[in-house]
Structure formats: structure tokens, C-alpha cells
Amino acid sequence: MVALDFPGAVEADRCVGILEGTGVYVKIGMQLYYAAGPDYVRQMKEKGYSIFLDLKVHDIPNTARGAMQSIAGLGIDMVNVHAAGGRKMMEAAREGLEKGTPAGGKRPLLIGVTQLTSTTREMMNDELGIEGSVEECVVRYARLVQQAGLDGVVASPKEVPLIKEACGASFLTVTPGIRPKGTDTGDQHRITTPEEAFKLGSDFIVIGRAITQAANPKQALHDILEGVKQYAN
């Protein structure tokens, strides 16, 4: 998945050109969605892209349900909520998504965000007041996400083996925090290379800046795809 973290449709479209024919998913997150809105999502669907709408919904159950009902009408393929919103919120989100999916359509995959890949143990313990290791928290959240009937989680690739052990092989893992060798870490902490992420069992890897901010994005994407093609399915 390529994260289209751009300020608007014009900038995003410059990048979309390089994705044509590669079969990659696009991830539309808050920055682009809040600027370009549902129309941009519909346009990308019309172009044939699979879309992960990364809006990380976190609200009271009734609002999460309504948000998901609206989102389902966009025909996207995957969407997410924060696991920290709790079981009732996640169940309501799933119900909203089911209700909003057009008759005969397929419900988008619903994924729970565990701990952001920019979060460290110190931040989690000292600022958020959550004790223990990040791994322990991620596995606890993953179990909760599964109990709420969601399809998988967003986590660091480093946590994938523990998640699969706790929730089973078919429970999906979507992993940002990917940095090909020699690229900038930026604000991410719990990172691996694309190859390592798939070796650890990730189902989907999410890459933003390592492609979008590369001197030659097309080449960067090509190199990454070459490196991981043995894992493609």
C-alpha cells in the first residue's frame, strides 16, 4: 500500500501516475481526505484502485457507527478504527459498515489500530499511563479487536508473529513503519525493511515517505516491489 500523504488532489495525482499498473493499494489518510474529500476517493475507485481509507475513527459507539455507515457508501476496500475506543465502539463500527454497504456489495475490511508505530514504550508508560511493553499492549488490543469481530489490526511488523500466535494466521496484519535500507526514519520508531516485514508475516505493508519523498519515486517503488515480489499473492 502506498500512503498518499499529500496536501491535496493535485499533489496526490502526481504520485498516482507512478502507481499505474502495479496493482498496489492506495492508502488515503487524514491529510488528503480532509483536503480532497469523498470525491477524490470516488475518483480513485473509478480508476480501479483498491483503497484503504485510513481515518482512524475513535469516538463514542453511536458516532463511530454513523461514520462507518457513511464510509461504506464510498465503496472503499478497507477502513480502520482505534482499538483504544474499546469493544463496544468497534462492534458499533462493524455494524455501521455492514448497514452502509450497498445491497449485493462486499463489506469493506475493518481494521483496528493497536499502538501507532511512532509510539515508544516510554511514551506509552509515561504519557498514556499504559503499563508494560508495547508488545503486550499490542497483543491485548489485537485480541480485543478480534473479539469485536474485526478483520485484523494495524501494528508494527515486529509485532506480527505475536499477533498471529494470539489471533491466528488468517487475522490480518497491516504494517506501517516500513523503511527500506538507507532511508530516513523520520518520526517512526518500531520499523523494519519491506522484506523483513513480509518475512515476519505481514499481510499488507504500508509505505509513504520512502516512496513519495524519494528523489525518484518511480524507481523507489520499483526497487521495493522487486525486493518483495517473492511474497506477492
- CA–CA gap between residue 198 and residue 205 (Å, rounded): 8
Binding mask 117-146 for ligand C5P (x = CB under 6 A): x-----------------------------
- Residue 102 gets which letter from DSSP? P
For position 116 contacting ligand C5P by CB under 6 A, the verdict is yes
**In the block, which residue shows the cell 489518510?**
29
Taking a C-beta distance cutoff of 8 angstroms, is the pair 212, 6 a contact? yes
For position 154 contacting ligand C5P by CB under 6 A, the verdict is yes
Which of 45, 56, 199, 218 is flagged as catalytic? Answer: 56
Burial class (CB in 10 A: 0-12, 13-18, 19+), 180: middle
Selected from 113, 137, 139, 150, the binder of ligand C5P by CB under 6 A is 113
- In the complex, the smallest distance separating the C-beta of residue 214 from ligand C5P, rounded to whole angstroms, is 11
**In the block, which residue shows the cell 506509552?**
124
- In the complex, the smallest distance separating the C-beta of residue 167 from ligand C5P, rounded to whole angstroms, is 17
- CA–CA gap between residue 44 and residue 84 (Å, rounded): 30
Cα-Cα-Cα-Cα torsion 148, 62, 101, 30, nearest 10 degrees, comes to: -90
**In the block, which residue shows the cell 480485543?**
144
- In the complex, the smallest distance separating the C-beta of residue 102 from ligand C5P, rounded to whole angstroms, is 27
Q: Is 56 noted as a catalytic residue in this protein?
A: yes
Whichever of 82 and 164 has its CB closer to ligand C5P, that residue is 82
For position 112 contacting ligand C5P by CB under 6 A, the verdict is no
Q: How many residues bind ligand C5P (CB under 6 A)?
A: 18
Give the binding site for ligand C5P (CB under 6 A).
3, 5, 29, 54, 113, 116-117, 154, 176-178, 186, 188, 206-210
